[in-house]
A and B are shown apart, each in its own frame.
Chain A
Amino acid sequence: MPEIFINGKPYQAEPDQTVLQVCRENGIYIPYFCWHPQLSVVGNCRICMVEEEGRGVDIGCNMPVKAGMRVLTESDEVKEHRKAILQFITLNHPVDCGICDKAGECVLQDYHYEYNGAPSISSDPKVRSTKFYDLSDRIVLDNERCILCSRCVRFTSEISKSCGLGIEERGDTSLVRPSTDGSFRNDAYSDNVVDICPVGALLSRSFFYKSRVWYLQTTPSVCPGCERGCSINVWHRKQEWHLQSLDTAENTSIARVTPLENMAVNGPWICNKGRDLAKIFERKRAEGAMAKGKPVSLAEAIAAARQLIVGAARPVALVSSWGSNEELEAFRSALGASFTSRVKADHQPEPGEVVEDDVLIRADKNPNSARARELFGTAPAVIPADADLVLVWGEGCDFSKIPAGARIILLGSYLAPENGHADVFLPISIQTERNGHYTNFQGVVSGFEACFPKAPGVVDAEAVFAGLGGAAS
């Protein structure tokens, strides 16, 4: 373990580390654009300059540690170099923060305030380049804002392996461009390049001009798109920025989804499906309880369901693999004894979707299959012909397979024709309206938190089970 000195203080380092890594581990901040913990080192932005005493300045991201080396991260020379590098970077950068989606979370903006702050010393015209270049139906590219850090290029060649992006031309007219075979358009992880872009060059179409980031807050959550259960941040409007007029639905809708770094599960990446959770969660919601299609109050519906359970001889339950660990436990403790329980796959792969790959995406498109099977076994979700009561929890049930005479209790979140046919329908909350945990296929438990309040008529499944509990006794 070599010991190195940073700004005069000794630190322990691993022999294969670089100065930048040691600094990061010990909370000494060194600015960087092109360096990324998951990507190879190219050292092209040159802003992570540090001074090795006696040897002058060099980039910290490619400086291997040597025992006894003395590094300065805030010397006058280092500061002067950072300032110069920022002058070079902003020389041809349009500085159009006012209309840039990245403003507020832009590394270049931060560094400019932190390390330069001076107006440009150049009065020559900037190099013009393409704006709104169509990279895919998800991403647009603004080449003028691009600082050519090549993170996106390295991401597609090293992480998503689509090799979908490259750099064309040279010098200050270099351009990030997609490969001609169109592989970037089919890259299932392409949206990550928007996150890792240190400036506003790569922009997500779904978030394009939608909101300033400082109006938004993040809530940690788990992607329910497959059994990987990637940790995500759900971005939604801050309470103090809630709209009082215009489209108030904005207040309770997902602005965007970004990865939440979780090295045990997904690292800093998620797939494009995880970005589109709004498509899943913002379908039309069922907001009132019903009995045989007639609106009833929640209390009446729960009472009716209790009646059905008490009267049933051979009740069967189709348990949701989208239920949280807590809900699954609640179901088992309340109703596990009275029902024959089967785990149901709520979602199947959609046409055109990447079913499975060796990066993150898994074939089982349900987030909590692992825990559900642990509690209720792996028997197939087949309803016995002699069942006289079927409790369906969540989506994905083929109602034609339910025996003709059987009564149905349905717990659902979205508007569906089956809701009205069920003997009792109970509207339950969705993942963004409650707290809970999922267990992924590796056994890693990740938690999600509520982003939005529930509609008045909607109830948590956990509360439903508590209300139904004891019906059989």
Chain B
Amino acid sequence: MTGRKILMDFEVTPTSHTLEAYAARGGYQTVSRVLREMKPTDVTKEVTEAGIQGRGGASFPAGRKWQVVDPHDGEPHYLLANADEGEPGTFKDRWILENAPHKLLESMLIAAYALGCRNTFVYIRGEFDLPYRRLQAAVEEAYKAGYFGEKILGSGFSCDIYVFRGGGAYVCGEASSLLASVEGIRGYPRNRPPRLTVKGLYQCPTVVNNVETLSNLAWILRHGAAEYRKVGTPKSPGTRLISISGHVNRPGVYEVELGYPWRKFLDEDCGGILGGRKLKAIIPGGISSQVLPGETAYELMLSHEALWDVNSSLGSGGMIAIAEGTCMVRLLQIMLRFYHHESCGQCTPCREGMGWAHRVIDRIVAGQGRPEDIDTLIRISKFNDGTTICGLGDAAGYATVDFIKHFRDEFEYFIEHKRSKNDGRLECLPEVANA
């Protein structure tokens, strides 16, 4: 077991996602108590005290984001749940949307109350089918039961929710381009300043939180910030949903209490590495977080501060285990192809740099690499770091630099010998592993 549970605190059955089942588990009691007894600022205070960090990738404390918004300034405010889960390797929000949509809805009601939002949105990834149907059904159930609409539960608070399906662009998971997409314009990220909490959707203060971040709120308000603080570590309270894929025996979504030992998580909970191989490397939180060598990861615990110490992060919680024998050059090629394909093309360094890096790595894999290519890749990454409008360029740069930093010998070998240092595979076939 992976520690205490906040989100996965029930048994998943064919009907566990419905309102009936959620209500039987005590659902929507918290929001009715919040609406009766608490002031919006008290809710924000509670969330700030709980210290919950964003689960979408940047790990920014949600309470501090909220504090910028004054619920009584008379302006319209908007709350958006970012369910555009596009980070490769990440499929944790999907679990929430499929199995606990009401948890998200109740938490969004609480957040909307705290932030003074009349209208809230869920921006759901366009490719999600079952999650969309489950969420839409949950919204309809919640409306029918009177949890959304005018004067909710007899209080003076009214709130509507809209489910907005994305068009399939990775970059629209970035908060500002997500807003552009909701507004109906091209999904380009926007320059900061102004921050979205100052000028966001329709130029009004807007809070965009990840689905998992929001889904924790019902629990936090129900049990209190002090109780939440007891879960996890002092610097990273709570739990994280980790969606692990790659070369492990039991991939899937796990709720892990922060501070849980990584070795134990991989070896016991995930059943170890495929074919009993060694862990070569691990991408801790979606491909935009920096890759770590296996031996480093084994010594760490799963918490934000532990990963920050090694210049990586838990990111979006999309963990990818990479077993010994995988070709890191080809893996980077696939990642750069993704970034090239998903670069929105707005700002120069990313638009040109992603294509450039992709062409360079393609050439290396095709056996036509040149010794200076490694420096070119590093240079492209360097000038994408912090010079772009959004984080896509930075993320691709981190991935490239860390792959080269940890596995430079493989890149040099590939360029020199025109073939992979390993067998060139990304798969880890059990029979090959046993042979």
Contact = CB atoms under 8 A, between A and B. Distances in A.
Interface of A: 41-47, 49, 56-59, 62, 64, 81, 84-85, 88-89, 91-92, 121-125, 127, 147-148, 150, 166-167, 169-174
A149 to B, nearest CB: 9
B345 A172 contact: yes
A91 B340 CA distance: 15
Contacts of B136: none
Contacts of B359: 124-125
B355 to A, nearest CB: 4
B341 interface: yes
A49 B387 contact: yes
A167 B186 contact: yes
B386 interface: yes
Contacts, number: 97
Interface in B376-435: 376, 379, 382-383, 386-389
Contact of B345 (A64, A88, A124, A170): A170
Interface string B346-386: 11110111111001100100000010000010010011001
Contacts of A172: 340, 343, 345, 351-352, 354-355
B349 A171 contact: no
A62 B387 CA distance: 13
Nearest to B388: A46
A122 B343 contact: no
Contacts of A170: 169, 342-345
Contact of B347 (A45, A121, A166): A45
B311 interface: no
Given A122-B356, A171-B351, A148 B345 contact: yes
B376 A91 contact: no
B349 A46 contact: yes
Given A88-B352, A91-B352, A46 B387 contact: yes
Contacts of A45: 347-348
Nearest to A170: B345
Nearest to B382: A84
B355 A81 contact: no
A239 to B, nearest CB: 41
B219 to A, nearest CB: 37
B386 A171 contact: no
A293 to B, nearest CB: 65
Contacts of B184: none
B191 interface: yes
Contacts of A49: 387
B383 A88 contact: yes
Contacts of B347: 43-46
B14 interface: no
A184 B81 CA distance: 38
B118 to A, nearest CB: 28
A307 to B, nearest CB: 72
A169 to B, nearest CB: 7
Contacts of A43: 191, 347, 389
Contacts of B379: 84, 121
A199 to B, nearest CB: 13
A172 B351 CA distance: 5
B191 A41 contact: yes
Contact of A171 (B355, B360, B382, B387): B355
A56 to B, nearest CB: 7
Nearest to B186: A167
Contacts of B341: 171
A59 B191 contact: yes
- The winner among A42, A127, A167, A170 for most chain B CB atoms within 10 A is A170
B137 to A, nearest CB: 33
B351 to A, nearest CB: 5
B74 interface: no
A157 to B, nearest CB: 10
23 contacts: A43-B389, A44-B346, A44-B347, A46-B348, A46-B387, A47-B348, A57-B386, A64-B193, A81-B383, A84-B382, A84-B387, A85-B348, A88-B352, A88-B353, A88-B356, A91-B355, A121-B379, A170-B343, A171-B341, A171-B354, A172-B352, A172-B355, A174-B351
Contacts of A166: 186
Nearest to A172: B355
A123 B370 CA distance: 10
Given A64-B193, A122-B356, A172-B355, A85 B344 contact: no
A171 B344 contact: yes
A45 B388 CA distance: 9
A170 B392 CA distance: 14
A135 to B, nearest CB: 19
B170 to A, nearest CB: 10
Contacts of A148: 345-346, 348, 351
